[in-house]
Amino acid sequence: MAKKKPVYADLVEMFRLKSVSRSKILSRSKSVTNTFDFEENFIKRERMRKMETQKEIGRMRAELPKYTLNDIRMFKLPFHEALILQLEETGYASTEAYIQQLFQIDEQLRLEAGPQSFVWTRPALRHSDNELKKLSDALMQAEDEHKKGNYKNEFDTMLRVAIDFAFNYSDWFWLAEDLILQCICTANTFAFSGKHEAISRYVYARILYEKIKNFEKAEEELSITRELSLGKSWNVKSFLPEQTDSSNTLFMSANYLLHLCYMRQAKLFFKIDCNQALEFASLAKKRAVEACYHDGETMALYIKGQCELNLGQTKDAVSTFNKAFYIQSKLKSEKGMCEARVELSKAYLMHGSTRLALNTLLALKAMAEEHGFQFYLAQAYRYLGEYYLTCGEPHKATPLLSDALHTFHSIGLMAEADQVRNVAALSSGLELMPLYIPLLQKTDKRFADGFENLLKLAKWKDSRWFNGAWNELRN
């Protein structure tokens, strides 16, 4: 007999089936919901990506340089053409006109010099972008100051750029010359205190002396500078930083360059006109004193003394060289004192003061040996040898001249060595002459064996020549 099911079993089964169907429905609804959420997130991500891309493009675009019309013109046209157009548009009429004038000057200088000249091969201003930009910037700044009425600032700007082109660039001194002339014109036009004109003329003189080599014109400008700065404490350190000594005033600097100009003239005239050289040497000495340039003063005294010796003014020469020695002794310069003693000994000899000459040369020899000055030691040997030779004592002169010859050779001064060699040969000959004279006397035909002695003497001379020539060829 079959087992009877409980009454509630059907109800349990029914509820089970309902719960299974409900779970299936819920699982299906969850899958649909998940699919919808994925699609919605994908759309949002795409939208966010596009927004980020747009932001990045905007940022990169903002970082790009913004070119003006002038920038584009600078890129497309040659720099000098674009610069002229820019100056014209921005109202810098004076700068534009001056640069155009400089272009013409540059071209004219090149044509006048010709294709084979240095001027032809140097860089042209219109094709030198860096220099042209530096120049135009300074000129625009100067024009701005001029419009404001700040004429001193205008002058300072022009002077600084002129100095820069003169001494910091190798091929632009012609441009510096034109700029400095503009500075002089500005200083004269607006009647400054005189300092600005003096400084500009001093700089112009340096350009003429160091770069253009127009020494006569440099001397003129320096003379004007000297007159303008006389008694003034003006200094050029702010414009010329290489002049680090703040005690050097403009007056002293001008006198220093004038000293160099006069020294150059004195050296040029020394071989052709000693009177003219003497005048320039005296002027050089005065300017060196005003410049507090003691070594320059000594060099001027040397030339002055040498001119006086050539003119026969031996007493004045002695006094001049004594002044030179005094200056060098005050400076405690051993080499300077040696050089002064060399010149002083010559003056004493020519003046006839042989004892003073000897004492001077002995002092020179002692100082040169003490300090190891080989050149001055050789000079001492040489002039001591010449002194004894002049006094008729070749036996004392020959060893000294041999020492001088050896010393000159050891320091490589062959020209001086050749000069001493000739004097040493003369001294050796004079030293042997007393022995040679009796031999000559015995060749007199009044002696019975005179002819035989003559033959012996000739044979001896021939053997000496043959041995000397053979040794020379063998060596």
Does the pLDDT at position 191 exceed 90? Answer: no
Model confidence pLDDT, tens digit, residues 314-348: 999 999 999 999 999 999 999 999 999 999 999 99
State the chain's mean pLDDT as an integer.
Answer: 84
At residue 435, the pLDDT reads 64
The predicted model gives 209-226 an average pLDDT of: 94
At residue 305, the pLDDT reads 96
Cα(354)–Cα(144) distance, rounded to whole angstroms? 74
Does the pLDDT at position 247 exceed 90? Answer: no
Confidence of residue 474 (pLDDT cuts 50, 70, 90): very low
Look at 4 and 136; give whichever has higher pLDDT: 136
The predicted model gives 100-124 an average pLDDT of: 91
Does the pLDDT at position 28 exceed 60? Answer: no
Amino acid at the residue 396: K
Does the pLDDT at position 442 exceed 90? Answer: no
At residue 236, the pLDDT reads 80
Does the pLDDT at position 27 exceed 50? Answer: yes
Model confidence pLDDT, tens digit, residues 178-190: 999 999 998 888 7
Cα(258)–Cα(298) distance, rounded to whole angstroms? 15
At residue 469, the pLDDT reads 37
Model confidence pLDDT, tens digit, residues 254-290: 999 999 999 999 999 998 999 999 999 999 999 999 9
Cα(180)–Cα(311) distance, rounded to whole angstroms? 43
Residues 6+ apart with CB under 8 A from 363: 341
Confidence of residue 77 (pLDDT cuts 50, 70, 90): confident
Domain ranges in the chain are 249-370, 373-440, 443-474
Q: What 3-state class would DSSP assign to 190? A: coil
At residue 47, the pLDDT reads 81
Look at 191 and 100; give whichever has higher pLDDT: 100
- Give the burial class of 49: count Cβ atoms within 10 A of its Cβ; 0-12 exposed, 13-18 middle, 19 or more buried: exposed
Helices assigned H by DSSP within 64-128:
69-76, 79-90, 93-113, 118-121
Cα(65)–Cα(72) distance, rounded to whole angstroms? 12
What is the DSSP secondary structure assignment for residue 64, as one 8-state letter?
Answer: S
Q: What 3-state class would DSSP assign to 78? A: coil
The predicted model gives 89-105 an average pLDDT of: 93
Reduced to 3 DSSP states, what percent helix, strand and coil does the chain have, rounded to the nearest 5? Answer: 80, 0, 20
CA 354 to chain CA mean position, Å? 45
Among 29-38, 102-111, 465-474, the range of highest mean pLDDT: 102-111
Cα(76)–Cα(62) distance, rounded to whole angstroms? 24
183 contacts 162 by C-beta, under 8 angstroms: yes
At residue 219, the pLDDT reads 95
At residue 56, the pLDDT reads 84
At residue 429, the pLDDT reads 74
The predicted model gives 422-442 an average pLDDT of: 73
Confidence of residue 194 (pLDDT cuts 50, 70, 90): confident
Does the pLDDT at position 467 exceed 50? Answer: no
Cα(443)–Cα(452) distance, rounded to whole angstroms? 8
Among 48-52, 73-77, 467-471, the range of highest mean pLDDT: 48-52
**Torsion on CA atoms 380, 381, 385, 386, rounded to nearest 10:** -40
Q: Return the exposure string of 459-470: e unless at least 16 CB atoms fall within 10 Å of the residue's CB, then b.
A: eeeeeeeeeeee
- Give the burial class of 284: count Cβ atoms within 10 A of its Cβ; 0-12 exposed, 13-18 middle, 19 or more buried: buried
264 contacts 277 by C-beta, under 8 angstroms: no
At residue 75, the pLDDT reads 72
CATH code of 249-370, in short, is 1.25.40.10
Give me the DSSP letters along 140-168: HHHHHHHHHT-HHHHHHHHHHHHHHHHHS
At residue 291, the pLDDT reads 93
CA 381 to chain CA mean position, Å? 38
The predicted model gives 426-450 an average pLDDT of: 69
Confidence of residue 444 (pLDDT cuts 50, 70, 90): low
At residue 425, the pLDDT reads 83
* Residue of 68, 94, 66 whose CA lies nearest to 82: 68
Does the pLDDT at position 296 exceed 50? Answer: yes
250 contacts 232 by C-beta, under 8 angstroms: yes
Q: Which two tokens stand for residue 206?
A: 């340096």
Cα(95)–Cα(137) distance, rounded to whole angstroms? 9
Ramachandran region of residue 312, left (φ > 0), alpha (ψ -120 to 50) or beta?
left
Does the pLDDT at position 49 exceed 80? Answer: yes
